[in-house]
Amino acid sequence: MAQRALMVVPSEPAQKPLSDSPAKFEVSGLVASFGDNEVLHGIDMVIPKCRITAIIGPSGCGKSTFIRCLNRMHELTPSARVSGSVLLDGEDVYGRRVDPVLLRRRVGMVFQKPNPFPTMSIRDNVVAGLRLTGGLDRSRADEIAESALQQAALWDEVKDRLDAPGAGLSGGQQQRLCIARALAVEPDVILLDEPCSALDPISTARIEDLLTVLRERYTIVMVTHNMQQAARASDLTAFFLTGELVELGPTAKLFTRPQDKRTEDYITGRFG
């Protein structure tokens, strides 16, 4: 564990080839609604393993709902319904025998607003997810916290104050703390919902840099309003519009030569 955390990952070109990566998620016919309001109208989409997939689109297009369907968080909203299939490594996450709590450990989530537990220390914040699911002795907790903080590129900034409250960190540090918390439970996939929209450009750059390192081991799906962020930080970009997937393609191609006129109009700011 500790060895893994200390591993130096060489910097990779920003965009990795997509063809050689197997599917992590295979989504087909995904329909999601809140009461009578259908927000996703049958999405078919493959998300490759160990790549960063960005999801862009105007407010209300269903992009956040989409990623919340990937780890069954959508169904936590009263009146929410979902149909279709979402295969994770070939297994239907909506299968009868799937425990949503275990699924959410495998498919972690980081939200728009950094949300560390305010009364908990930095260390306890990181291992909070593990504590919830069973006994954890102190030395093991310390080991996991260090590893996760290292991976989240926060360790050097907090190693001397692990017992200080997480809420005392800056916004960017809090967001990396939340990423560390997601990593501590050893997920396969990290979903990020507008992870940088509350952060300044330097903190944003640190998160984006971190994501390119994390992609070595994790599949990352990121919803973002910021097209430049999608262009900078992702391998693959999906454009959603009014509950439909309009276009999915390699990021460099989508932002220079989109195939669909609706994508073109949206990314050039000619929307509506």
Partner 1 sequence: MALNHSNREYEAELLKLRHDILEMGGRIEEMIRDAVRSLIERDSDLARRTIAADNHVNRLEIDTDELCLRILARRQPMASDLRFISIAFKMVTDLERIGDLAVNVCERAIDLNAQPELKPYEDTQRMADIVREMVSAAIEAFINGDAERAAAIIERDDEVDELYHTIFRDILSLMLEDTNVVERGIHIQSTAKFLERIGDHATNLAEQVIFMAKGRDVRHEGKLPKG
Structural contact between residues 70 and 31, judged by C-beta atoms closer than 8 angstroms: no
Q: Are 152 and 125 in contact (CB under 8 A)?
A: no
- Closest approach, Cβ 264 to partner 1, in A, equals 5
C-beta separation of 128 from 174 below 8 A: no
Question: Rule CB under 8 A: is residue 263 a binding residue for partner 1?
Answer: yes
Minimum distance from CB of 239 to partner 1 (Å)?
A: 11
Stretch that binds partner 1, among 6-14, 79-87, 241-249, 250-258 (CB under 8 A): 250-258
Interaction between residue 264 and partner 1 (CB under 8 A) = yes
- What are φ and ψ of residue 190, in 5° steps? -120, 125
Window contacting partner 1 (CB under 8 A); options: 116-124, 165-173, 212-220, 263-271: 263-271
CB nearer to partner 1: give 175 or 251. 251
In angstroms, give the least distance from the CB of 260 to partner 1: 11
Is residue 238 within 8 Å of 248, Cβ to Cβ?
Answer: yes
The nearest distance, CB 265 to partner 1, in angstroms, is 6
Of 28-36, 45-53, 107-115, 254-262, the segment contacting partner 1 by CB under 8 A is 254-262
Q: How many residues bind partner 1 (CB under 8 A)?
A: 16
- Figure out which of the listed residues 70, 213, 231, 236 binds partner 1, where binding follows CB under 8 A: 231
Q: Which residue number, 172 or 258, has a Cβ lying nearer to partner 1?
A: 258
Element at 103 (helix H, strand E): helix 100-106
DSSP string, 175-244: HHHHHHHHHHT--SEEEEESTTTTS-HHHHHHHHHHHHHHTTTSEEEEE-S-HHHHHHH-SEEEEEETTE
- 228 scored as a contact of partner 1 (CB under 8 A): yes
Q: Does 271 bind partner 1 (CB under 8 A)?
A: yes
Residue labelled with tokens 């279709």: 84
Q: Which stretches of 116-170 are DSSP H helices?
A: 122-132, 138-151, 155-158
269 binds partner 1 (CB under 8 A): yes
Q: Which of 27, 227, 241, 246 binds partner 1 (CB under 8 A)?
A: 227
Rounded (10°) angle between helices 171-184 and 138-151: 120
Return phi, psi of residue 92, to 5°. -70, 120
**Residues contributing to the site for partner 1 (CB under 8 A):** 227-228, 231, 255-258, 263-265, 267-272
